[in-house]
Structures are given as C-alpha cells and as structure tokens.
Structure 1
C-alpha cells in the first residue's frame, strides 16, 4: 500500500509544491493485526493544514481492542465505530496527490497492508517517507522516538495518546525536514491517480492535550537505549514518561511482548537496561533530588528490576536546563545536542531555565530574552553556546609572536662601527653640498648630492641602532 521513498540531503528533486499526509495508528499489538484508531493530517509545504481525519476503527465483533491501559481504547469505544473498509475511502481521499509520511513507516504500513489484505482491497501504491529514518539522518539524538524528536525540532505540541495528536506532530516534522533541513527526493515521487471514493461515517476520539512533562518524561528523552523503531521500547518509554507505572500497564506491556514473540529473558534484559539508562540520566547532571530517586525506584520496582542502584539524593546544586529559541536547522541541531549531552531541554521559559540560546531568526526585541536575564539565566548565541554549556573546550588563545633572540654585543660591534662611519660620511657629504650650493653649484647637482647624504645618514643610523631588549 505504501512504498518508502529514498531521500537526499541536497541535490535531489525538491519537495517544492508537494503536499504531505501524515499518518498515525493505534493497534491491537506489536505485530500486524488490527488497527483500532486511524488518523491522518494533510499539510502543505508551508505548514498550512489542508485537512484532517480521525476515527476509531472496529476490528470486528468481539475482537479485543488490545492494550487498553496503553492506548486508552476500550471495546465499548469500538462498538458502532466504522470498520477499516468503511474508513479506507476517506483516508485515500485525503491522501490523493500527496506523499504519505509516518514515524516508523514500516510499522504503520505493515498494519495497513494487513487490514487491506483482510478485506481484499486493491489499493494503488502510495509514495511514502519514514520521518524516523529522516530524523535520524538530520540530527543526532539519544533516541529518535517521536516524543523525543518533536522538542528537538522545536515542535511545541507533544504527541499524546490519540492517533490524531501523533499525526499532527508527524506533519510538522515533515515540514521541518523538507523545509529548513533541505531534504529532497532521490527521484520524483510518482503520485497514483486515485478516484473519488465514497466517504463513510467516522467516529473521532476526543483529543486530550498532553500534560506538562515531568522529570521522568524529560529523562526518557535523554535515554540512549535500544534500536530506533523498536515499538516495544517506544511503548515502554511512553508509559514510563507518565511518572506512575501502574500494574495494569506493566501487564499490558508483558502481554504485547509475549504476543510479539519476545522471550521473557529479552523483556527482563530490556527492562534492566532501560532502568540503568534512566539512572545514568538522573546522575549525569550531578544533582539527584529525592523526588527523582523515588520515581526511579518506583519504575524499577514496577518493571521487576531488583535494584535501581545506589542513588544518593542531593539537595544542593542546580542542574543545567537549556531553552533554545529559533527556527533554523542550526537551532534544531543544538536542541538535539543538548539532549544527546544528557542536559535538560526546556520547552518554555521558566525560573528553572539556566541558559537561553537564541539563533539569528529570533528578533532582538523578543521579550523572553530580557525576561531570561531578569531570571538570572545566561543568554547566549548559537556560536558561544557549545563552549558555555561545556560541550566543547574553549578555543585556545593565539600563540604569542616569537621574541627575536638578542644579538650578542660582540657580534654587533662591526655593524655599529660601520653604521657610525657611514653616518660620518653622510654628514661630511652634506657639509660639502651646502658649501657648494653657496659657492654657486647648480641646484640639480646640489639636490643629487644631498639625496646621497641623507641616504648615508639614515643607513648609518639603522646599522648603529641599539639592539632591542
């Protein structure tokens, strides 16, 4: 149903004039099974939203909805929702004449293919782009989950539980990748000719905005563990980011892992490595608060990890917290580097921000610049930020010019004597020139001899000049 396109950083076919339709889904499991929620957002190259689609999808009478504790969709929510075949026409209508984008496109495409095959639908191949792979090429991050990539690209809205919130974030990410990051297509995308399909009734789910992220959510953004695109790890990180890990959520995770064929040892090892990585993030900035230690131990206990480590809470100190303002690719790369270095990346200006970095796209009268200074934060530019934040060593001072070695007095003696002799000759020649001028020597001849006299005086002075100390 979807064919992944190859991208180039530059030199390919530009995406100018190309619309993108971002997809996101909620499913019954990690393996291709049933889609229980489908969302799509179409955007133009300038980021203007051209249309949205969101609906719950009934996988069939009596089919379980999957991990309710994770995606929040119950069997009762699905009763009366359209089947996948009834929603497919509306989806294809929105995708017509555009390039499909999704974060972890192979995962999304595998479920859509499975659903289309189940109902025997023949769908033309749509060109698609995997924003996960593109983001991995654009910036270096500890992980490239959508919830981590979004703040690195300056996308304010965090993806929440619903597929629509995820699709909106992917749409903005695609605009950034093909806009300021300059991605191009390796070959022109072939857009299939799609007829106008009959649009059936839809049942959208209420989109609840994601809450303000706590320490655990920000710590998960800085966790470097697992392979990008690992759907289980993405679910695990998303659940942990909510701070409180409930028993039903742990049970749902275990069920998904078992359904995907993961042995218990692999699940246990993943949980252990995840908790260790969280602990490293907590300790990296030199400050571990009592609340952070308590949250980490709660997560470790819920995941069945025996010990979170000997965390030592400290009340003193203030971890670095960086807010980067700007809409350039350089600002995105700095935001990504802040996360890669294990430093907290702020989403907005608060009293806890220690450094504010502004790129050239931020006007000088931006109110947050003055407000940051009032709050005691260091206001930096992109050039000075890596050094001020400790990511790079300060530039080495220029080497002093070499001091010429003093010339021994004995070696200079012939030069000094020669210079004084030459000065005497110059004075004598000047004397005879002046006398000759008064005696009637032609003016031209006087000037000629005076020139040589002055030259002899200057040359002698240079030779006899004292050596520098």
Structure 2
C-alpha cells in the first residue's frame, strides 16, 4: 500500500501545498500478524490539522492478540469493534491525495496489504515517507525510534501506546522535517485514484493520560542502533521504556519473536545487547543512582541476563543533564549531539537539570532561563555549548598566539629604541656641556659620534614603520 519516495535536500520538488497523512498501527505480532488498532492523522505542510481517525479493529474470533504489554489492548476492548473492511473506507478517504508518513512503511504496508487483500479490494500503492530515513538525512542520532527523533527535534511525543498517539507524533515530525529542514522529493509525488466506500464504522480507544517518564524511558533513547534493523530490539526498547518486565511478559515477547522466525540465539543476544547498552549508559557519567541500578537490575533479571547483576549505586556528584531550548536547526543538532554523547537530555526544566542551552528562537520573556539560574543551572548559548559541555575541544588559536607574539616583539623594540635614543641625547648633552667647559675637541667629537649613533639606532628601532 505504501511506496517510499526518495528524498533530497534543496533542489527537488518542495512539499509546499502538499498534505501528509501519518499512519500508525498496532498488531498481534512482528510478522505475520493482524491489525488490532489503526490511526491516521492528516496535516497540511504548515502543520495545521486537516483531519484524523482512530479505531480499534477486531481481527476476528479466535485470533490471538499477542501480549497486551506491547499494544495495551485486551480482548474485551475489541468487543463491538469493526472488522478491517468497515475501517478501510474512512482510511482511504483520509489518505486520498496526500503523502503517507510511517515509521516503517514496509512493515505497516505489509500488514495493511494483507488486511486489504482479505477484503477483496485492490488499492494502488500510495506515495510515502519513512520518518527514520528522513531524519537520518538531517541529524545523527543513536537510534531513530519515533520517541528519540521527536525528542531530538523538540517535538512533543504523544503519551501512551495507542496508534493515535503514535500517528500524531509522526505527523508533527513530518512537518518539522520538511518545513524546518527544507527536505524535498526527488520527483513530484503521484496520487492515484482510490476506491470509495459508503459508510464505515470506527471505535476509537479511550485517550490515555500522560505518564511521567522514568530513567529507563530516557535511557533507551541513547541506545545505539546497530544498523541491522533489529525489530525485536525496537520492541524491547519500547516495552522497557513504559514499564518493568516480568518473566511471564518476557516469555510472551520471546514467543512473538519465535513466530516472526527469530532464533532463540538471536533473542538471547538481543536481550544481552539491550542490558549491556543500558548499563554502559548508566555508568558513562560516573554516577549510578539507586533508581537506575534498581530499574536496570529488574530488567536484567526478567530478561535472564547477568550483565547487570553486580551493578551498585555509585555516588560521584550530580550527573550532567541538559535542557536545550529552541526550534532552530542548531538546537536540534545539539539535542542530537547530547543523545549521541550518552548525556541525559531533559524534556523540561527541573532541579536535576545542570545546563540550560538557548538559541535565538527563545523569546526574551521566556521564564525558564531565569528560573534555571535560580536552580543553579549553567546557562549557555547554543554556539558555545559543545565546547562547554566537553563534546568538542577548545578551538586552537594559532592566529591569536602569533598576534600576541608580534605585539610583544614590537613592544620590546619600541621600548629598547626609546631607551637608546635617551642615551644618545644624554651623550650629546654631556658633549655640549663639556665643550663649553674646555674639553679637547677630539674627545668631544669622539663622544658626539657615539651620541649620534645611539640617536639614529634608537630611532630605527622605535620607528620601524617609517623605513
């Protein structure tokens, strides 16, 4: 259903005047599987909302839903939900004439193609954009999961695990990537005609209250992406970011991996990779808090990994925690750099923030910098922050050293020249006085020559520009 379009920086077909429709789904597994929730959010290129839909989808009786800790949906919630065939019409109406936005177009497209195929309807491929691919072209991040990209670009990520929350985040990211960074299409998107259906029924999931993210939710944003497209690692990271794991939940996750064709060795290796990365992040700043150690040991125990068994709280001062304010490209790249360096990146100002960085887009009446100063945080400009935070070495200053050296030499010559001229004048004065006192002419001439030589030599040193 979704065909990813190649993107360019400047020079391609701009997105001005186009609409984007972000699509997100919740499924019963990694693959194969069925859709149990669908959401789509349509926005104009300027970010204004054009429409949205959200609905639970009943995959049919007897279909296992997969673990609820992944999508948060129970069988009871699906009672009375429409089948996919009743959802397809409203979905196509919302998507018509727009560019589809997805986190993983191939993944979402494969599930949607299967559901559409089961209805007997033929839908042509729609032009689409991969958010990770677009983000990779503008910022360097440890990973490109939606929450990480949103945090780096200063975009509020929707709370909870619902498809609507995910689709809203993807829609915001699309408008930032194409607006702030000026991404363009290699060729103009082609919008095919889509079938129309009468009616349609939706059953949205209840909105979730935002939860305060803990250390684990922030830590998974700093886990490096191995570049191999490990879908199971992404699944694990998303789960541990939201809650603690129990052995039973880990067993259910491993069953999903097995259904997707992943070997037991791959699953075990992924568990070790996750825990090892989290431990490295916890220890990188030299401070391991009791909460960090507790959460990490709990996850390691549930995953059956010993890599965190000996981790203990270690006091070493206050860990660096940076809040970057602003909506400029420079602010985005600094947020990305903070994550890439493994440093804590704050979402809001609290007493735990040690550094606050602001760019030129932060209004003068913004109360946060003043409040940060009251809390004892260091205030930095976005331009000097990489050096102040220790990411970059101080800039070399060979030109300045040369200037200082030249000034020092010139000053020494000036002082020496004037001293020499003073000696010459003193000699001439003595010669004149001595000649009036009856000193022989030969002796006077002898000392007068020394005096004139000192005057000329001093003038030569003190006035180099006149030569």
TM-score (norm 1): 0.85
| Residue of structure 2 in register with 1:431 after alignment | none
**What is the distance in 2 between the residues matched to 1:76 and 1:158?**
24
| Residue of structure 2 in register with 1:266 after alignment | 266
Task: Please say if 1:465 is aligned against 2:459.
Answer: yes
Q: Secondary structure at the match of 1:283?
A: helix
Which runs of structure 2 are paired with 1:6-405 in the superposition (5 Å)?
Answer: 6-194=6-194, 196-227=196-227, 229-308=229-308, 310-397=310-397, 398-399=400-401, 400-402=404-406, 404=409
Note if contact 2:247-2:303 (Cα within 8 Å) is conserved in structure 1.
Answer: no
Following TM superposition, by how much is the alpha carbon of 1:327 offset from its aligned partner in structure 2, in angstroms?
1.1
User: Cα 1:63–1:384, aligned 2, differ >3 Å: closer, same or farther?
Assistant: same
**What is the distance in 1 between the residues matched to 2:369 and 2:306?**
46
Note if contact 1:225-1:277 (Cα within 8 Å) is conserved in structure 2.
Answer: no
Listed one character per residue, the Cα deviations across residues 291-349 of structure 1 (whole Å, up to 9, x for unaligned) are 21121111111001123154242234000111111111221111111110001111011
CA RMSD of aligned residues (A): 2.6
Note if contact 2:32-2:259 (Cα within 8 Å) is conserved in structure 1.
Answer: no
**What is the distance in 2 between the residues matched to 1:201 and 1:158?**
25
Listed one character per residue, the Cα deviations across residues 2-37 of structure 1 (whole Å, up to 9, x for unaligned) are 111000011111000111000000001111421110
**What is the distance in 2 between the residues matched to 1:347 and 1:404?**
53
**What is the distance in 1 between the residues matched to 2:105 and 2:159?**
17
Q: Secondary structure at the match of 2:108?
A: helix
**What is the distance in 2 between the residues matched to 1:462 and 1:29?**
95
Note if contact 2:8-2:186 (Cα within 8 Å) is conserved in structure 1.
Answer: yes
Following TM superposition, by how much is the alpha carbon of 1:74 offset from its aligned partner in structure 2, in angstroms?
1.8
Greater alpha carbon shift after TM alignment, 195-204 vs 248-257 = 195-204
Listed one character per residue, the Cα deviations across residues 24-52 of structure 1 (whole Å, up to 9, x for unaligned) are 00001111421110000001111111111
Q: Secondary structure at the match of 2:40?
A: strand
**What is the distance in 2 between the residues matched to 1:167 and 1:51?**
12
Q: Secondary structure at the match of 1:286?
A: coil
Following TM superposition, by how much is the alpha carbon of 1:225 offset from its aligned partner in structure 2, in angstroms?
4.2
Note if contact 1:225-1:273 (Cα within 8 Å) is conserved in structure 2.
Answer: no
Note if contact 2:297-2:311 (Cα within 8 Å) is conserved in structure 1.
Answer: no
Following TM superposition, by how much is the alpha carbon of 1:69 offset from its aligned partner in structure 2, in angstroms?
2.7
Paired residues in the alignment total: 425
Note if contact 1:57-1:82 (Cα within 8 Å) is conserved in structure 2.
Answer: yes
**What is the distance in 1 between the residues matched to 2:279 and 2:290?**
13
User: Cα 1:150–1:289, aligned 2, differ >3 Å: closer, same or farther?
Assistant: same
**What is the distance in 1 between the residues matched to 2:105 and 2:91?**
16
Note if contact 2:3-2:105 (Cα within 8 Å) is conserved in structure 1.
Answer: no
Note if contact 2:132-2:144 (Cα within 8 Å) is conserved in structure 1.
Answer: yes
**What is the distance in 1 between the residues matched to 2:77 and 2:275?**
34
**What is the distance in 2 between the residues matched to 1:24 and 1:17?**
23
Note if contact 1:27-1:34 (Cα within 8 Å) is conserved in structure 2.
Answer: yes
Moved over 4 A (4+): 403-408, 460-464
Following TM superposition, by how much is the alpha carbon of 1:182 offset from its aligned partner in structure 2, in angstroms?
1.1
Structure 2: gaps spanning 5 or more residues? 429-453, 463-467
| Residue of structure 2 in register with 1:440 after alignment | none
Listed one character per residue, the Cα deviations across residues 352-397 of structure 1 (whole Å, up to 9, x for unaligned) are 1111111111112211111111111111111111011111111234
Following TM superposition, by how much is the alpha carbon of 1:152 offset from its aligned partner in structure 2, in angstroms?
0.8
Q: Secondary structure at the match of 1:300?
A: helix
Q: Secondary structure at the match of 2:26?
A: strand
**What is the distance in 2 between the residues matched to 1:248 and 1:23?**
31
Listed one character per residue, the Cα deviations across residues 228-280 of structure 1 (whole Å, up to 9, x for unaligned) are 64321111001111341123321221111100111111111111111110000
Following TM superposition, by how much is the alpha carbon of 1:218 offset from its aligned partner in structure 2, in angstroms?
0.7
**What is the distance in 2 between the residues matched to 1:251 and 1:360?**
50
Note if contact 1:145-1:229 (Cα within 8 Å) is conserved in structure 2.
Answer: no
